[in-house]
Structure 1
Amino acid sequence: MRSGRRHITILIANLPAERDRRVIRECLTLEQNGYEVTVIAPRGDKSLKFLPGSRSTRLRPYPVFVYGSGVLSYAAEFLWSFLCITARLVGEVLSGRAHAVQVCNPPDVYWPLALFMRAIGRPWVFDHHDLCPEIYATRSGGKPNRWAFRMLELCEWLTLRTASAVVVTNESFRDNALRKGVPADRMTVVRNGPALAEIASEQQRDDGRPAGVHRVVYLGVLGPQDNVEGAVLAAQELTRRRGRTGWRLTIAGDGESMPALRKLVSERGLGDVVEFAGWLDVGAVHDLLRTATVAIQPDLPTRMNDLSTMAKTVEYLGRGVPVVAADLTETRRTAGEAAVYVPTGTPVEFAIAIEELLADPARRARMREAGLARFADTLAWEHQAGRYVSVWHRVLPLSRRGVGTPPTSRAPAPMRAGDAAGRK
């Protein structure tokens, strides 16, 4: 390129770029370290030409006309996305950009493009967001079609093995890739989570919670695998234990389970204690969590959830909100002493744990301090940015004609209104 700078193209298929907070932080980190970035993703906000918080990361959205809800509709959605992404990526290559590519899953179907890019001498980095075979098994009620599951495992293996480098969100994903034959020196753990700078930069506002009212919060995607109905049923159990005053459950997010959740709240007569906040931008997320007494992570102990890091939990810890969660391997590694762990994730277990925390301010204070320390010392994006950009310095060194290699320890600038809350 005429600027002499290296250009990275990032591919997303499952949501618009402005809703993927991990990708936003990655892009801003790359910008600050001398790279140019383009993101190819489904169209969201039609007014956006650049990534929120950036003046240089270009958006190349594509329209989506089919949204998956079953096997055939998912296949149609992924096929359409594959064709659109392929067309836009080829355009980026022909225009002299796309010196390297990062692909974010789900789905794990872009390995043919990896073979093409590597054949023409361009690095391909896989940013492993989700375990697709395990998602399918969870959404199938634990009884997946054997051949469909094996096909997803094959696609995951091909996606991992065709990458120049693999970025994973936690140690369990790293172990999974090792079992699939990925060399350890091609993998880097880069966790999810906001930056200290993002949280510190938010203007401090008065607590909007009514005096004497505890707020229990769920923040994130509302999908079948997220078990948000478990949080609603836990609220029903709390009405039996604490009555209907002095507390409220706020569900913030959106997804395909929203209609079913609204119906459940109506059928159980919980409209006075359960409220839906919708999908929130970064400022609104901060305001909500500043008013929270306890946060709930209702994900059940499936294999997928046991091995996954929930982005919502890091958001909770960053604001010092005590967490109630099922006893999952990566949740323990993330939250440590800042969470209460229940054995199986039943609504009754969640309700008992929440009730005990609401009645024990001293314990909540200890958990708050543990969460804030865990976030500041380990989880914040400032601790991840250097590891992430080191992958790119290895596979795509900055051009000598470019701007050079600035320090990699800086976090991206705080995200502004319009950036959305993500999940894993």
Structure 2
Amino acid sequence: MAFAGKAGHGRRVLILVENLPSPFDRRVWQEATTLFANGYQVSIICPTGKGHESRYEEIDGIHIYRYKLPLEAEGAKGYAIEYSAALFHTFRLAWKVKRERGFDIIHACNPPDLLFLIGGFFKLFMGKKFVFDHHDINPELYEAKFGRRDFFYKLMVLFERWSFKTSDVSIATNESYKRIAITRGGMDPDKVYVVRSGPKLDRLRILPPVESLKKGKRFLIGYVGVMGAQEGIDLLLEAARHLIVDMGRTDVHFGIVGGGTSLDQMKALAVKMGIADYVTFTGRVPDQDLLEMLNTADVCVNPDVANDMNDKSTMNKIMEYMALGKPIVQFDLVEGRVSAQEASLYAVKNDPVDMARKIAELLDDPARRERMGAYGRHRVVNELEWEYEAPKLLAAYERLYSANAPLPGAVPPSYKGS
């Protein structure tokens, strides 16, 4: 059901997001604009970030309140400082939003799994509804970053469970996350809605290649994502070294798009491996630069480390590669296969040598590259684009208002696109 026009009482949403600024976080922005297009008043609280330094602005009818974090966390102490500051500022700004615009629903996007403290406060004392939007599985993320299941891992599991227990409805990004919500989180299956992070094709436009990005080489290998410990950029560089040095493929260049705490370390590693001239690190760039790199790429890669976190997570980069019609090479992970299917080749888990071989295999077979790219593009256009996921988001919201609302898997009969 669509709700056009000005939002009334009960249709005012406050979205909380800590790890990225809006509108840079594409999933959050797609959710926000979809809700707004269907009659909801939407406010967002998030941190500042490069290109998004303003403490308040209105974009496309969405009111964005930002706060500045003291640091970009690295290590347990850093995360403790970051999350404490984020909670303080989010709670402070929630009162500001309540005073200036009001809200009836708090929609909390993790990480961290601590935003239930704010959602729970307003639910308990003011009768607000709480939606937990499960973006990352935090216990597995902790294990991926620090390599242990200690007291803090158990604490992450507890925070996760409290987040689900506090929520009136939870949103999962895939079926693996839904199972976690039900089994580990104790969530009623009827209150868990799968809303995948489908790309929007009006943003991911197919453009002519920019040959200068190949740096004089015949082929470009593209990557977009975060430069962090669990993203496997070191494994990608090992694969690049094997391809260039051991296999003698000096006809390739790697374009690596994205920022993060490991960026400088990865640049230094490329120099140490002797392949710096074959790799461009762009850092975080505007959409146009990202699109130019990916549209120019002959093959796109996803070197995410095989672990419990990545095995169960749907990676936005895979959807973006497919939307642009690019063949993919990635390690063999459960949700990676669910998303890409025949659009990807699957290297042995955490084996950079096999990844290099798979890349070379595709470079030497242009017909196969074209076939795989077309398959991925068709799958996005006909199954995975955001327009197929937006009604599921609206169905989850209808659950907040009616016992007879659509159950997971059902959608409202119509909605306004964002």
Scaled by the length of structure 2, what TM-score is found?
A: 0.90
Would the aligned equivalents of 2:37 and 2:416 in 1 still touch at CA under 8 Å?
no
> Which residue does 2:162 correspond to in 1?
158
Matched residue count: 397
Of 110, 114, 134, the match for 1:128: 134
After TM superposition, the structure 1 stretch with the greater mean CA deviation from structure 2, 116-125 or 146-155, is 116-125
Deviation at 1:301, TM superposition (A): 1.4
> Which residue does 2:407 correspond to in 1?
none
Would the aligned equivalents of 2:132 and 2:169 in 1 still touch at CA under 8 Å?
yes
> Which residue does 2:211 correspond to in 1?
208
Would the aligned equivalents of 1:33 and 1:406 in 2 still touch at CA under 8 Å?
no
Would the aligned equivalents of 2:55 and 2:66 in 1 still touch at CA under 8 Å?
no
> Which residue does 1:422 correspond to in 2?
none
CA distance in 1, matches of 2:167, 2:116: 8
> Which residue does 2:399 correspond to in 1?
394
One-letter code of the match for 2:311? D
Structure 2 gaps of 5+ residues are: 1-5, 403-411
| 1:147 and 2:151 correspond | yes
Once superposed, what is the RMSD of the aligned Cα atoms? 2.0
| 1:292 and 2:303 correspond | no
CA distance in 1, matches of 2:401, 2:43: 15
How is 1:174-253 mapped onto 2 (pairs within 5 angstroms)?
A: 174-179=178-183, 180-200=185-205, 204-205=207-208, 207-208=210-211, 213-243=218-248, 245-253=250-258
One-letter code of the match for 2:179? D
| 1:137 and 2:143 correspond | yes
Deviation at 1:272, TM superposition (A): 1.5
Would the aligned equivalents of 1:16 and 1:41 in 2 still touch at CA under 8 Å?
yes
> Which residue does 1:421 correspond to in 2?
none
CA distance in 2, matches of 1:283, 1:378: 25
CA distance in 1, matches of 2:241, 2:7: 60
Would the aligned equivalents of 1:383 and 1:409 in 2 still touch at CA under 8 Å?
no
The change in CA–CA distance for 1:358 and 1:3 in structure 2 (over 3 A counts) is closer
How is 1:39-118 mapped onto 2 (pairs within 5 angstroms)?
A: 39-44=44-49, 45-47=52-54, 49-50=56-57, 54-95=59-100, 97-118=102-123
CA distance in 2, matches of 1:196, 1:70: 37
What is the SS of the residue equivalent to 1:19? coil
Of 156, 170, 175, the match for 1:171: 175
After TM superposition, the structure 1 stretch with the greater mean CA deviation from structure 2, 28-37 or 332-341, is 28-37
The change in CA–CA distance for 1:356 and 1:261 in structure 2 (over 3 A counts) is same
> Which residue does 2:375 correspond to in 1?
370
What is the SS of the residue equivalent to 2:57? coil
CA distance in 2, matches of 1:348, 1:115: 48
CA distance in 1, matches of 2:209, 2:120: 54
Deviation at 1:406, TM superposition (A): 10
Of 354, 361, 373, the match for 2:359: 354
CA distance in 1, matches of 2:281, 2:117: 41
After superposition, give the CA deviation of every residue in 1:328-376 in whole Å (9 maximum; x if it has no partner). 1100100001111112221101101101110111211221121112111
One-letter code of the match for 1:289? L
What is the SS of the residue equivalent to 1:198? coil
Report which structure shows greater RCO (CA 8 Å, sep ≥6).
1
Scaled by the length of structure 1, what TM-score is found?
A: 0.89
CA distance in 1, matches of 2:283, 2:261: 12
Deviation at 1:16, TM superposition (A): 1.5
Would the aligned equivalents of 1:33 and 1:407 in 2 still touch at CA under 8 Å?
no
Of 335, 343, 349, the match for 1:338: 343
CA distance in 1, matches of 2:276, 2:265: 14
| 1:13 and 2:18 correspond | yes
What is the SS of the residue equivalent to 1:336? helix
What is the SS of the residue equivalent to 2:163? helix
